[in-house]
Amino acid sequence: MTTEVSSETEVKEKAEESAAQLDQPEKATEETQEEVITEGEEKEKEEKEKEKEEKEKEGKEGKGISKFLPTWLKKPKSQAQEAPPSEEAISAGQQEGEGPVPEVNGHTEEVEEKETVKSEQVKETEAESHSNASADTEPAKEESAEKSPERSQETKEEQVEEKEGKEGGLRGGGGGVEGQTSIFQSPLRLVRKAKMKLVVCQVALLDGTDFTCEVEKRAKGQYLFFKVCEHLNLLEKDYFGLTYKDNHEQKCWLDPMKEIKRQIRSNNWQFSFNVKFYPPDPSLLSEDITRYLLCLQLREDVATGRLPCSFVTHALLGSYTLQAEFGDYDPDQPRPLDYINQLNIAPSQNREMEEKIFELHKSHRGMTPAQADTQFLENAKKLSMYGVDLHPAKDSEGVDLMLGVCANGLLVYKDRLRINRFAWPKILKISYKRNNFYIKIRPGETEQFESTVGFKLQNHRSAKKLWKVCVENHSFYRLNAPEPPTKARFLTLGSKFRYSGRTQAQTRLASSLIDRPSPTFERTSSKRISRSVDGAPMISITDVERDTAENGREHRLDLHSDSKINAPSAEAAAADCTSSDTKEPTKTADVEIEETIVVQEVSKATQPALVTVAVDSPAIPPAKQETREQEVKVQEEAVVPKEAATAKQESVSSESESEDEAEYHPNVSASTHMPEVKEEEEEEDKVEEDKMADENMSAPVVASLPVEITKAAEDVCKKEEESKREEGQGGVKRNAEKEMEVGRESEESTEEPMMTPEEVPNGVALAEDAVIGLVGHAEKQEPKMNGETLLVEPRPQVICCSEPPVVKTEMVTISDTFAAQKTEIATKEVPIVHTETKTITYEAAQLDGNGDGEPGVLMTAQTITSESLCTTTTTHITKTLKGGLSETRIEKRIVITGDCDIDHDQALAQAIKEAKEQHPDMSVTRVVVHKETELAEEED
């Protein structure tokens, strides 16, 4: 491992060099050429870059195949590594090049160097040498992004020649052929220092072409999106978005506000441009080009069957497509007749339909393309599944359902039948927890109570995805303006995730202000590149590569290195729980993550307010501090060998919010702090919770791991990720976890008994995972558990005790008021991670503590999670009535992730300061700093 790590480091450096080059590719060209490098790859890179540029240019001018070509120029250059045997076009000589593959070192280097400029060959190389080249991990991922459509090899080569010809000056007259064959012989070195790493993104557009552009490696989603919109000349862009595929081949929306790199999996920089919000009335769009793009999306939706429609509608839509693309029906022109076979109009296209299409096409005589598009949309928008985003789910009885998110709300389908519908105004809260998705329904006229409907999704990723889609759709269609970002506030509801774009109302307003002549655009034919059902370009090599690089391979690599670093713990874990399988990280994690943070508010309080800040900073062994992504992953893997694997992936490779549950209150302003809970409702909740408590007490104890452990693991991953991110920025913060508890009081503060993790009956605290849970729950544990007085004794609680196989921890979980439906608490095998934890508690002097044993009556409780890039803030607010006094306690836990050299004290001070600022009327009574050190492999 060590060697590989170092080589990886080298790679980075090299990559940076090349990145520098990327920064100023054009200027650089001449000079760089002269600088000869020993390593052939550099030159390739340079060439590739140029090619990419050209590609982009072409993309703007031309259409179709030529756009794709440039990407491939790289390929011919490094024949040695590529040449999958199946490609006929590749010369024997190239194939021979494969011979050297086994040379691990040479290979890895090559691979590494291409980090920024990815090319397929690397993947192939890796594929060949993956068994020994764990260091390739990262490059491999990046490579996978580069799935350029593969045309015939010949074309590519031609193109290459052409390019090379253009660049002839650089080559010193070297022809294209030379360019192809001599790469290795005449490598160039680049001397420039890296400024920013660039990566090439490939975006499949709706017309079937691909748009390629470079973005900084750390660019946010919106940067790329804007680039695409610019390329498309699209102003009404809010209806659109970019999608990527995660490791599970699921299509996900690229969050514009987050770094691309952290969202995509496997460094697969491939995206699709798609309609995200289908305008309910397309005629209200301002520009034809917007309608055209919407048409393209709908044509695809219809052709793939995603938007089901009847025979007649297929024919009608098809006829408008013909009119838009070919103009008036021309009986003398036989072409359309041949053409229509290739037109992809319906999933079950037949002669009869084609005739019907022609028949209808005739009737559209004189219609302009724009009019035809408008007619197309007028008909398409009436289809019942127009704009409905379907998500497979199950009801409580395991019956297969489809949940459809649309402009009006949430639809429930069983087979093709709509069996329920929840309009947005009817929905009070949308939440998910693990793989459960819940909506809380406003009581009907005759009903007294709110009800909550739960669905089971396939896994927690699906649940989260659905939740996000709901949040976004609700915001887009129902709000006048998106909810302000939650991080600005201390007490906000739900996950940090919110829709960040413009709402429909805003975009309509913006559209009305568009003041430009109608842009001219060319309507490309529906006879486009065949695409897979979900719209991703279907290119043979792409698939191959995806298979190798994206899924299996990459993981294998990760794990490979993981097992090296963390072998001891992993093995230990395996020993204890045989099912722990580090080779299969993709298993659906049965992860329970329950954020429970207690907050009490005291209106007239004798209660002290308190802030608990727990700073947790796993001291990563020095060697690891220079972590490269690879190592980071290793740690993650070690921490989460099995159960949390899925969660890990989620948090690691992309979103910073990795919470496994979140809430969204569609009708409640984000600024709402205290839920106004009615008495009856509270009763109801209590009842439910009590019930739940019973269930949980009895059922899940079966050797299940406390939720929190996994959650923590995930957090760790997040931290790692964060640290990765922060590396470049000079590492503001290292792994640190803070927990803050803020209490509020109107009078004087008294001492609040507080429990540190050490006092927790769990005792063990060796699992770094447990950290969060421990801290979080320590304060909430029942007196019976630890003899400590409780902050919120009387409120209904759900207690779950479970014993992980190895980590001897007992967790006590207290559900919040909303947790009534969240019944599952158990997870299984725990990864063992040996950690050292240190907890320091600072407490303000308090008079009585609330250990007086006086049981209060819980008024409300709520848990809030918000996240920003490097912090996760979980806030739990409880309101209790205690001896006539209402008390509000706010407990805030902040996990700060960052580099190891973070100044903890400063971070802590900052956190406290922020808490004070946010709640000037409350006082900080307790600060818990929780540090965590992961022990290196001493066990071994």
CB of 470 to other proteins, least distance (A): 16
CA atoms within 13 A on the CB side of 531: 27
User: What residues numbered 476-535 form the site for other proteins, per CB under 8 A?
Assistant: none
User: What residues numbered 434-473 form the site for other proteins, per CB under 8 A?
Assistant: 444
User: Which of 337, 419 has the CB closer to other proteins?
Assistant: 419
Choose the binding region for other proteins from 61-69, 379-387, 549-557, 776-784 (rule: CB under 8 A).
379-387
The size of the interface with other proteins (CB under 8 A), counted in residues, is 28
174 in Cβ contact with 168 (< 8 Å):
yes
What DSSP designation does 36 have?
A: B
CB of 411 to other proteins, least distance (A): 8
The answer to whether 417 contacts other proteins (rule: CB under 8 A) is: yes
Residue 281: CB atoms within 10 A of its CB come to: 11
CB of 356 to other proteins, least distance (A): 8
User: Which of 406, 609 has the CB closer to other proteins?
Assistant: 406
Choose the binding region for other proteins from 50-58, 196-204, 406-414, 815-823 (rule: CB under 8 A).
406-414
**String marking each residue 53-72 x if it binds other proteins according to CB under 8 A:** --------------------
CB of 320 to other proteins, least distance (A): 11
CB of 476 to other proteins, least distance (A): 16
Choose the binding region for other proteins from 5-13, 42-50, 409-417, 704-712 (rule: CB under 8 A).
409-417
Q: Is 412 left (phi over 0), alpha (psi -120 to 50) or beta?
A: beta
User: Which of 283, 384 has the CB closer to other proteins?
Assistant: 384
User: Which of 444, 517 has the CB closer to other proteins?
Assistant: 444
The answer to whether 351 contacts other proteins (rule: CB under 8 A) is: no
Give me the sign of the Cα torsion angle 721, 727, 730, 731: positive
244 in Cβ contact with 228 (< 8 Å):
no
Q: Cα Rg for the chain, rounded, in angstroms? A: 29
467 in Cβ contact with 430 (< 8 Å):
yes
User: Which of 30, 352 has the CB closer to other proteins?
Assistant: 352
Choose the binding region for other proteins from 106-114, 167-175, 410-418, 809-817 (rule: CB under 8 A).
410-418
CB of 419 to other proteins, least distance (A): 6
Helix, strand, coil distribution of the chain in percent, nearest 5: 40, 15, 40
The answer to whether 540 contacts other proteins (rule: CB under 8 A) is: no
User: Which of 224, 309 has the CB closer to other proteins?
Assistant: 309
Q: Quick one: which of 365, 418, 604, 784 contacts other proteins (CB under 8 A)?
A: 418
CB of 828 to other proteins, least distance (A): 37
User: Which of 240, 477 has the CB closer to other proteins?
Assistant: 477
The answer to whether 420 contacts other proteins (rule: CB under 8 A) is: yes
CB of 415 to other proteins, least distance (A): 5
User: Which of 415, 515 has the CB closer to other proteins?
Assistant: 415
The answer to whether 419 contacts other proteins (rule: CB under 8 A) is: yes
The answer to whether 408 contacts other proteins (rule: CB under 8 A) is: yes
Q: Which residue has the tokens 């290119």?
A: 539
Residue 398 CB-density burial (10 A; 0-12 exposed, 13-18 middle, 19+ buried)? exposed
Q: String of b and e for 829-856 (b: at least 16 CB within 10 Å)?
A: bbbbbbbebbbebbbbebebbbbeeeeb
603 in Cβ contact with 879 (< 8 Å):
no
User: Which of 355, 694 has the CB closer to other proteins?
Assistant: 355
CB of 375 to other proteins, least distance (A): 9
User: What residues numbered 266-325 form the site for other proteins, per CB under 8 A?
Assistant: 308-313, 315-316
Query: HEC states along 798-833?
Result: CCCCCCCCCCCCCCCCCCCHHHHHCCCCEECCCCCC
Q: Quick one: which of 203, 204, 293, 383 contacts other proteins (CB under 8 A)?
A: 383
User: Which of 294, 315 has the CB closer to other proteins?
Assistant: 315
CB of 701 to other proteins, least distance (A): 39
CB of 96 to other proteins, least distance (A): 55
Residue 475: CB atoms within 10 A of its CB come to: 23
User: Which of 262, 361 has the CB closer to other proteins?
Assistant: 361
First to last CA, the chain: 15
User: What residues numbered 544-583 form the site for other proteins, per CB under 8 A?
Assistant: none
Task: Choose among 366, 342, 371, 370: nearest CA to 354.
Answer: 342
Choose the binding region for other proteins from 261-269, 419-427, 691-699, 909-917 (rule: CB under 8 A).
419-427
Cα→Cα distances 756→141, 771, 774, 788, Å = 42, 11, 8, 10
Amino acid at 916: K
CB of 477 to other proteins, least distance (A): 12
Q: String of b and e for 505-522 (b: at least 16 CB within 10 Å)?
A: ebbbeebeeeeeeeeebe
Structure tokens that stand for 679 in this block: 């008495």
User: Which of 165, 308 has the CB closer to other proteins?
Assistant: 308
**DSSP three-state, residue 401:** strand
CB of 426 to other proteins, least distance (A): 8
User: Which of 419, 514 has the CB closer to other proteins?
Assistant: 419
107 alpha carbon, distance to own chain's centre: 31
106 in Cβ contact with 190 (< 8 Å):
no
909 alpha carbon, distance to own chain's centre: 31
Residue 304 CB-density burial (10 A; 0-12 exposed, 13-18 middle, 19+ buried)? middle
* Sequence-separated contacts (24+) of 249-252 with Cβ below 8 Å: 250/461, 250/462, 250/465, 251/534, 251/535, 252/465
Spatial separation of the C-alpha atoms in residues 470 and 456, rounded to whole Å: 15
Which residues have C-beta within 8 Å of that of residue 117, sequence separation ≥ 6? 18, 22, 44, 45, 48, 49, 52, 74, 198, 200
Spatial separation of the C-alpha atoms in residues 656 and 873, rounded to whole Å: 12
CB of 250 to other proteins, least distance (A): 25
Residue 728 CB-density burial (10 A; 0-12 exposed, 13-18 middle, 19+ buried)? exposed
Structure tokens that stand for 900 in this block: 């190891």
Spatial separation of the C-alpha atoms in residues 271 and 277, rounded to whole Å: 17
Choose the binding region for other proteins from 253-261, 375-383, 817-825, 841-849 (rule: CB under 8 A).
375-383
814 in Cβ contact with 790 (< 8 Å):
no
CB of 561 to other proteins, least distance (A): 51
CB of 384 to other proteins, least distance (A): 4
CB of 479 to other proteins, least distance (A): 19
User: Which of 414, 604 has the CB closer to other proteins?
Assistant: 414
User: Which of 311, 449 has the CB closer to other proteins?
Assistant: 311
User: Which of 346, 922 has the CB closer to other proteins?
Assistant: 346
205 in Cβ contact with 273 (< 8 Å):
yes
User: Which of 421, 487 has the CB closer to other proteins?
Assistant: 421
User: Which of 383, 927 has the CB closer to other proteins?
Assistant: 383
CB of 290 to other proteins, least distance (A): 23
Q: Quick one: which of 61, 415, 917, 921 contacts other proteins (CB under 8 A)?
A: 415
Q: Quick one: which of 421, 523, 527, 916 contacts other proteins (CB under 8 A)?
A: 421
Q: Quick one: which of 26, 334, 416, 940 contacts other proteins (CB under 8 A)?
A: 416
Residues that bind other proteins (CB under 8 A): 308-313, 315-316, 356, 359-360, 379, 382-385, 406, 408, 414-421, 423, 444
